[in-house]
A = this chain, B = another copy of it.
Amino acid sequence: MRVGVFGASGYVGGEILRLLLGHPRVEVVAATSNTYAGEYVHRVHPNIRGQTALKFIKSDPLKAAGLCDVLFVATPHGVSSSFIPQVLDSGIKIIDTSADFRLKNPEDYLKWYDWKHKCPEMLNKAVYGLPELHREEIKGAQLVAVPGCMATAGILALAPIVKSGNIEKDRIVVDFKIGSSGAGAKPSLSSHHSEHYSVVRPYKPVGHRHTAELEQELSLLCGEKVKISMSAHAVNMVRGILSTCHVFLKDSIKSIEVWRLYREFYSGEPFIRFIRDTKGVFRYPDPKITVGSNYCDIGFEVDEHAGRLVILSAIDNLMKGAAGTAVQDMNIMCGWDEREGLRYSALHPI
Q: Which chain A residues have a beta carbon within 8 Å of chain B's beta carbons?
A: 11, 14, 18, 21-22, 43, 45-51, 170-171, 173, 175, 177, 179-181, 185, 187-203, 205-207, 211, 227-229, 231, 233, 235-240, 242, 244, 246, 248, 273, 275, 277, 280-289, 291-293, 295, 299-303, 305-308, 310, 312, 314, 343-350
Contact = CB atoms under 8 A, between A and B. Distances in A.
Nearest to A51: B345
6 contacts: A18-B348, A194-B238, A197-B237, A199-B288, A238-B350, A344-B344
B349 A229 contact: no
Contact of A207 (B177, B305, B307): B305
Given A231-B246, A305-B211, A310-B205, A238 B198 contact: yes
Given A22-B345, A173-B173, A347-B292, A286 B193 contact: no
Contacts of A347: 18, 47, 239, 291-292, 347
A291 B200 CA distance: 12
A180 B193 contact: yes
Contact of A244 (B175, B187, B280): B175
A233 to B, nearest CB: 7
A206 B308 contact: yes
Contact of A281 (B189, B200, B238, B246): B189
Given A187-B189, A238-B350, A348-B46, A180 B206 contact: no
A233 B49 CA distance: 22
Contacts of A189: 185, 187, 280-281
A47 B187 contact: no
B238 A237 contact: no
B228 A47 contact: no
Given A175-B244, A227-B305, A235-B236, 7 more contacts: A22-B344, A43-B280, A50-B273, A171-B248, A173-B308, A206-B308, A236-B237
Given A43-B282, A194-B180, A246 B244 contact: no
Contact of A284 (B192, B202, B305, B350): B202
Contacts of A343: 22
Contacts of A289: 46-47, 49
B233 A177 contact: yes
B47 A229 contact: no
B201 A286 contact: yes
Given A180-B197, A202-B242, A305-B206, A188 B187 contact: yes
A251 B142 CA distance: 47
Given A281-B195, A291-B350, A347-B347, A286 B47 contact: no
Contacts of A314: 200
B303 A229 contact: yes
A18 to B, nearest CB: 5
Contacts of A180: 192-194, 197, 349
A343 to B, nearest CB: 7
Given A188-B187, A211-B305, A242 B246 contact: no
Contacts of A283: 203
